[in-house]
């Protein structure tokens, strides 16, 4: 087994390389601190995680935490060396490899170790050590070679885990699903100060500063079920709005927090904290952490192949989007809009993804025609199909999602058709409700051709409106065949060459730390036929 370490490097000094790339080569060739004395606390209390996998590489993550009792630790001002171990077995006896990686003080002592040269389609075990402290053992995997004929893939999708609204008990059950990957589709944290009828309250009030964001991530990651799921398999992650500010759009602030703050600076702090707490590659930081404060892109969208079975297109619909249109009083954020009363609604210049990401996605669809995968999965933040909330004549559409960027949605649908994209499957979150339906060639014509299928998840805890008017709303939107606006949980999709099967898994009560799980509904889609069948 041959390990190497990826260290992207078109930057100035050796020190800057480490700050930009984070995945430091071993042995370290500059002075860092090593733990000498026995620690009085567990610095690995946020657990471990892995992510950003491909067929030869994966990112291993952890973060060293200060002593919760004092809020301080002797390594706080300095970069430190953390030992890592990887092996084929949980006892670290078979093909064990070890080394050291730097945890930078400027990045909250987070570690993003990029292991290269791994064997494809393999499970590995890993852990970290600092002084006499040792992390929990994590399990991760590499993906099959892009040309491998794969017979099975099992993926969960999740989103919207608001602390005040309940416990993250769904992850206790997700740990038993025998998954290959987790897709997390946004709202990993919520920046709010509290909620009415809260189950529990977050510490720290409104989140605006870098320390606020770090503390809110630490609070969410303190959930043991979430930690355990991160340690089960690699995650592919994207963000939505609450990692920064409710309903923000590109450089335009959202509705939450103190609006007197410099939003560009707040966004940069939020992006830094997201990087610090997610198993992302250094390449996401296109111009280093310092570049975020100067408006640099944080590139989190990308493409991942799982053999010849599936391709995943992970999107970012927040960083580059145009501002929402036709809000009452020209207010920030989102709202319900009658598109017939909104002149800008169908403006072809408006974009949800930004021109560069749209171009990348279209080129990816072109490449998918040349080098096809059986299933093409677009993993993105929100609901894709038109969702009319006005009962009877007329339309009332939410301007914060794809409905509010109708021309951009139509361009994406046309790109799927023009490139004969095989078996498109769109997976989303954001709306706190389960919606299952068909992707139509024209979102405003229910009799147009079906070009793909869609599964939008309910979220881990975030509340929704309830099912009182749900049947009537389904009748208004016949391209959807199922919806639920009460239960919380996650979805599981199993891919095979013949079909996909999707299960909507829901807990009985997110207000309780211990819950039961059940299957709310189950669906199947045959390869080559964009038609959803409910199987239970």
* CATH number, domain with residue 290: 3.60.21.70
Last residue of a domain, one of 126, 142, 158: 142
80-87 and 97-103 strand pairing: antiparallel
Write the CB contacts of 484 (distance below 8 Å, at least 6 apart in sequence). 433, 434, 458, 467, 470, 504, 506, 520, 521
Residues 128 and 153 in one domain: no
Residues 133 and 208 in one domain: no
Residues 67 and 148 in one domain: no
* CATH number, domain with residue 33: 2.60.40.380
Residues 204 and 124 in one domain: no
Residues 90 and 167 in one domain: no
Lowest mean pLDDT across 73-87, 89-103, 444-458, 460-474? 73-87
Residues 219 and 367 in one domain: yes
Question: What would the pLDDT profile of 92-110 be if each residue is shown by its tens digit?
Answer: 999 999 999 999 999 999 9
Question: What would the pLDDT profile of 7-37 be if each residue is shown by its tens digit?
Answer: 333 333 334 434 444 443 333 444 566 655 5
Last residue of a domain, one of 127, 142, 157: 142
Residues 115 and 171 in one domain: no
Per DSSP, the three-state class of 399 is: coil
Residues 269 and 164 in one domain: yes
Chain centroid to Cα 107, Å, comes to 20
pLDDT at 505 over 60: yes
Residues 497 and 396 in one domain: yes
Check if the beta carbon of residue 170 is closer than 8 Å to that of residue 519.
no
pTM of the model: 0.94
In angstroms, rounded to a whole number, what is the distance separating the alpha carbons of residues 118 and 435? 38
In angstroms, rounded to a whole number, what is the distance separating the alpha carbons of residues 400 and 325? 9
Check if the beta carbon of residue 512 is closer than 8 Å to that of residue 167.
yes
The H or E element containing residue 221 is helix 210-221
Q: Is the peptide bond before 27 cis (omega within 30 degrees of 0)?
A: yes
Question: What would the pLDDT profile of 391-429 be if each residue is shown by its tens digit?
Answer: 989 999 999 999 999 999 999 999 999 999 999 999 999
Check if the beta carbon of residue 118 is closer than 8 Å to that of residue 142.
yes
Write the CB contacts of 199 (distance below 8 Å, at least 6 apart in sequence). 164, 165, 166, 167, 510, 511
Last residue of a domain, one of 123, 142, 161: 142
pLDDT at 167 over 90: yes
Question: What would the pLDDT profile of 212-257 be if each residue is shown by its tens digit?
Answer: 999 999 999 999 999 999 999 999 999 999 999 999 999 999 887 6
φ, ψ for residue 395, nearest 5 deg:
-130, 145
Report the domain count for the chain.
Answer: 2
For residue 117, how many other CB atoms are within 10 A of its CB?
12
The helix, strand and coil proportions of the chain, stated in percent and rounded to the nearest 5, come to: 20, 25, 55
Q: Choose among 519, 513, 533: nearest CA to 491.
A: 519
Supply the pLDDT for residue 67. 80
Residues 99 and 155 in one domain: no
Please calculate the CA angle 283-284-285 and round it to the nearest 5 degrees. Answer: 85
- 77 is in which domain, residue-wise? 1-142
Residues 303 and 225 in one domain: yes
Instruction: Concatenate the DSSP letters of all residues of 195-212 into one string.
Output: -TT-SS--SSSS--SHHH
């Amino acid at each position: 087994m041959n390990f190497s370490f990826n260290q992207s490097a078109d930057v100035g000094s050796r020190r800057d390389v480490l700050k930009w790339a984070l995945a430091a080569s071993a042995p370290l060739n500059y002075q860092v601190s090593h733990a000498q004395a026995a620690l009085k606390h567990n610095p690995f209390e946020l657990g471990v995680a892995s992510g950003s996998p491909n067929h030869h590489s994966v990112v291993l993550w952890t973060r060293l935490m200060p002593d919760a009792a004092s809020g301080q630790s002797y390594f706080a001002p300095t970069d430190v060396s953390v030992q890592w171990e990887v092996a084929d077995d949980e006892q670290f006896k078979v093909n064990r490899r070890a080394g050291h990686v730097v945890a930078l003080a400027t990045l909250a002592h987070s570690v993003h170790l990029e292991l290269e040269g791994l064997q494809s389609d393999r499970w590995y075990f890993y852990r970290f050590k600092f002084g006499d402290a040792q992390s929990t053992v994590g399990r991760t995997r590499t993906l099959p070679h892009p040309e491998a004929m794969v017979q099975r893939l099992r993926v969960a999708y999740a989103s919207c885990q608001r602390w005040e609204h309940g416990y993250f008990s769904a992850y206790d059950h997700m740990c038993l699903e025998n998954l290959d990957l987790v897709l997390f589709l946004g709202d990993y944290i919520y920046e709010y100060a509290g909620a009415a009828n809260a189950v529990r309250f977050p510490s720290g009030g409104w989140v605006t500063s870098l320390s606020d964001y770090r503390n809110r991530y630490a609070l969410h990651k303190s959930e043991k079920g979430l930690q355990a799921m991160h340690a089960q398999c690699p995650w592919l992650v994207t963000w939505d709005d609450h990692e920064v500010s409710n309903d923000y759009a590109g450089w335009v602030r959202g509705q939450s927090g103190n609006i007197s703050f410099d939003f560009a600076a707040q966004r940069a702090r939020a992006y830094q904290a997201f990087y610090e707490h997610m198993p992302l590659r250094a390449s996401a930081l296109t111009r280093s952490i310092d570049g975020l404060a100067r408006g640099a892109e944080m590139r989190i969208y990308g493409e991942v192949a799982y053999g010849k079975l599936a391709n995943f297109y992970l999107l970012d619909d927040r960083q580059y989007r145009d501002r929402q249109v036709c809000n009452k009083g020209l207010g920030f954020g989102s709202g319900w809009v009658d598109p017939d009363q909104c002149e800008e609604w169908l403006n072809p210049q408006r974009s949800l993804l930004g021109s560069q990401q749209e171009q990348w996605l279209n080129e990816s669809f072109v490449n998918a025609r040349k080098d096809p995968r059986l299933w093409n999965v677009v993993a993105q933040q929100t609901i894709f199909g038109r969702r009319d909330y006005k009962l009877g004549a007329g339309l009332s559409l939410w301007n914060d999602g794809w409905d509010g960027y109708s021309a951009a949605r139509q361009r994406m649908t046309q790109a799927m058709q023009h490139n004969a994209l095989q078996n498109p499957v769109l997976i989303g979150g954001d709306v706190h409700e389960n919606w299952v339906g068909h992707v139509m060639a024209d979102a405003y014509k229910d009799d147009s051709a079906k070009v793909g299928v869609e599964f939008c998840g309910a979220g881990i805890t975030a509340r929704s409106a309830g099912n009182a008017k749900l049947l009537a709303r389904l009748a208004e939107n016949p391209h959807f065949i199922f919806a639920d606006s009460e239960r919380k949980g996650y979805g599981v999709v199993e891919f095979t060459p013949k079909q996909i099967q999707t299960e909507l898994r829901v807990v009985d009560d997110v207000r309780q730390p211990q819950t039961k799980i059940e299957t709310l509904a189950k669906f199947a889609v045959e390869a080559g036929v964009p038609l959803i069948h409910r199987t239970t």
